[in-house]
Amino acid sequence: MAIGIFMKTMASNAPIGVFDSGLGGLSVLRELVRALPQENFIYVADSGHCPYGGKTQDEIVARASAITDFLLASDAKLIVVACNTATIAAVEYLRATYSVSFVGMEPAVKPAVAATRSGIIGVLATGAALKGEKLLRLIDRHASAVTVITQPCPGLVEQVEIGDLSGPETRRLLTNYTQPLLTAGADTLVLGCTHYPFLRDTLVDIVGPDVRLLDTGEAVARRVETLLARESLQTSSAASGRIDWYTSGEPATMALAGARLWGAPVSARTVPQT
Tell me which residues are annotated as active site. Answer: 83, 193
Contacts of 120 (CB under 8 A, 6+ apart): 146, 147, 149, 184, 185, 186, 187, 188
Among 36, 44, 45, 53, binds ligand DGL (CB under 6 A): 53
Q: Does 211 bind ligand DGL (CB under 6 A)?
A: no
The contact mask relative to ligand DGL for 122-141 (x = CB under 6 A, - = no) is ----x--x------------
Q: Which amino acid belongs to residue 79? A: I
Applying CB under 6 A, among 51, 111, 217, 249 the residue interacting with ligand DGL is: 51
For residue 257, give the H/E element and its range.
helix 251-262
Regarding 47 and contact with ligand DGL (CB under 6 A), the answer is no
Among 112, 121, 148, 157, the residue binding ligand DGL under the rule CB under 6 A is 157
Q: Which residues, listed in sequence order, are joined to residue 199 by a DSSP beta bridge?
A: none
- Contact between 106 and ligand DGL (CB under 6 A)? no
Query: With binding defined as CB under 6 A, does residue 19 bind ligand DGL?
Result: no
Does residue 107 touch ligand DGL according to CB under 6 A? no
Give yes or no for residue 20 binding ligand DGL (CB under 6 A).
Answer: yes
Residue number, 159 or 194, with CB nearest to ligand DGL: 194
How many angstroms separate the CA atoms of 208 and 202, rounded? 10
Amino acid letter at 266? V
Question: Which residues, in sequence order, are bridge partners of residue 244?
Answer: 42
**Cβ-based nearer residue to ligand DGL, 73 or 136:** 136
Specify the stretch interacting with ligand DGL by CB under 6 A; choose among 110-118, 140-148, 189-197, 231-239: 189-197
Q: What is the DSSP string of 174-240?
A: HHHHHHHHHHTT--EEEE-STTGGGGHHHHHHHH-TTSEEE--HHHHHHHHHHHHHHTT------S-
Handedness of CA 195, 200, 201, 203 (dihedral sign): positive
Tell me which residues touch ligand DGL (CB under 6 A): 20-22, 24, 50-53, 83-85, 126, 129, 157, 193-195
